[in-house]
């Protein structure tokens, strides 16, 4: 599978749901906390037209936000099963 990077925060419920969804399907990802990384925060602002949408997910240089959490969107974007 392609490399996946999640831009998240610790307090975000949509981030928790996204990570749980991926973990249940055995999908590996790198997590970047935008509250701790100012460059990552600037990146998500840029790719989301000035909005701080989290989680923002990067796959092979392509970005999309999954906020509010939408399992069907996430499964479709990542081409993974909706049900574990």
DSSP state letters, 15-84: HHHHHHHHHHTT---EEEETTT-HHHHHHHHHHTTT---SSEEEETTEEEE--S--HHHHHHHHT--S--
Domain 4-78 has CATH 3.40.30.10: yes
The answer to whether 40 and 7 are in contact (CB under 8 A) is yes
pLDDT band at 33 (very low <50, low <70, confident <90, very high): very high
Residue 73 is predicted with a pLDDT of 94
Question: What global pTM score does this model have?
Answer: 0.92
pLDDT band at 44 (very low <50, low <70, confident <90, very high): very high
Give dist(CA 59, CA 70) in Å, integer. 17
Instruction: Report the percentage of the chain scoring pLDDT > 70.
Output: 99
Whole-number average pLDDT of the chain: 95
- Kindly list the domain boundaries of the chain, sorted by start residue: 4-78
Residue 1 is predicted with a pLDDT of 59
């Amino acid at each position: 599978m392609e490399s996946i990077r999640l831009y998240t925060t610790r307090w975000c419920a949509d981030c928790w749901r996204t990570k749980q969804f991926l973990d249940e399907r055995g999908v590996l990802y790198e997590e970047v906390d935008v509250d701790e990384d100012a460059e990552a925060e600037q990146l998500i602002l840029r790719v989301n037209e000035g909005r701080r949408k989290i989680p923002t997910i990067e796959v092979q240089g392509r970005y999309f936000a999954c906020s509010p959490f939408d399992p069907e969107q996430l499964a479709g974007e990542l081409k993974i099963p909706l049900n574990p």
